[in-house]
Amino acid sequence: MRSSISIVIPFYHAEEFFEETYNSIKSQTLPAKEIIVVIDGCGEKAVNFLASYNDIKVINLEKNGGPARARNIGVKEASGDWIAFMDADDKWEPEKLEKQLFFLNNHPEFSSCHTGIKTFIGKEVIAQFNNKPLELTIEDLLVSSHAVPTSWLIKKSAFQKVDGFDTDIQCSEDHDITIRLVAAGENIGFLSEPLAFLRREGHGNISSNGRKIFIGHRQLLKKHQSLYNQHPQLKHQFMYKTCMTAGGKTTGLEKKYYYFLGAIIKMIFNVNIH
């Protein structure tokens, strides 16, 4: 029996890893209603590559617009009541969708949920993240993003309620949408079991670029300025963590700049990181 889950995957030059991603989707104990792959301006090479997968729906965008735009377009075309996001180089545990939908059916107060995650390179797991709040609050989200698209299952109606991802935000569009969802009364739950795997190989993953993280977080601060101003301590924590994260993902003078800026913020605002 199939669920009413549509899987939406932005695809950008992911030929090397897509087979592993696809196999993890097809191994789900609760099969999805449909798999929608949105080619984000890759041209005929990607179209020809995906043509060999005869059970996916392919949307070919001529111009590259980033993953937020690709996901929005995929959701618009989806026929399922639920949306599961997947990146074209990540993978899931076989029970991921089944356990999430079971959780959501038993917790109707949540319109979406995310799971614990493992990051990996090749066949090696390098880190695990599953110590997160059962229910995300605005205060949680003003400091950290918590939910990543590959671990997320959301009601299509909730996604549409907040008009999807903001395509003007770089790198942090997933963080932004969770803030807007919780502010709109759409609660986000958490399954601590790590059911999603995020690839961390050096192949252009946007999260590996410290400068884009820094710019994206500045955009978040500006967009949600009123919320951050209501919680100045959390604002300063977020600013400090932004600098330290960006510094850890850059090199040379830029790395020193972010670390120096973080040290100044910590000293001036007496930032206490737990």
Residue spans per domain, the chain: 5-206, 209-269
What is the per-residue pLDDT across 140-162, written as a single tens digit (0 to 9) for each? 999 999 999 999 999 999 999 99
Q: Encode pLDDT of 2-27 as tens digits.
A: 679 999 999 999 999 999 999 999 99
Secondary structure in 3-state letters for 6-72: EEEEEECCCCCCHHHHHHHHHCCCCCCCEEEEEEECCCHHHHHHHCCCCCCEEEEECCCCCHHHHHH
| Nearest CA-CA partner of 102 in 28, 20, 198 | 28
Q: What is the pLDDT of residue 201?
A: 78
Place of tokens 């400091």: 143
The CA distances from residue 91 to 80, 147, 217, in Å, are: 21, 16, 26
**CB crowding 98-129: b at 16 or more within 10 Å, else e:** bbbbebbeeeeebbbbbbbbbbbeeeeeeeeb
pLDDT digits (tens, 9 = 90+) for 185-235: 999 999 999 999 999 875 454 445 889 999 999 999 999 999 999 999 999
User: Model's pTM, two decimal places?
Assistant: 0.95
Can you give the length of the chain in residues?
274
Backbone angles phi and psi of 135, in degrees to 5 = -130, 125
Encode pLDDT of 22-70 as tens digits: 999 999 999 999 999 999 999 999 999 999 999 999 999 999 999 999 9
- Cβ neighbour number for residue 200 with a 10 Å cutoff: 16
Give the CATH fold of the 5-206 domain: Spore Coat Polysaccharide Biosynthesis Protein SpsA; Chain A (3.90.550)
- SS3 state of residue 192: strand
- Which pair of tokens denotes residue 9? 């995957």
Nearest one of 196, 198, 204, 154 to 177, comparing CA atoms: 154
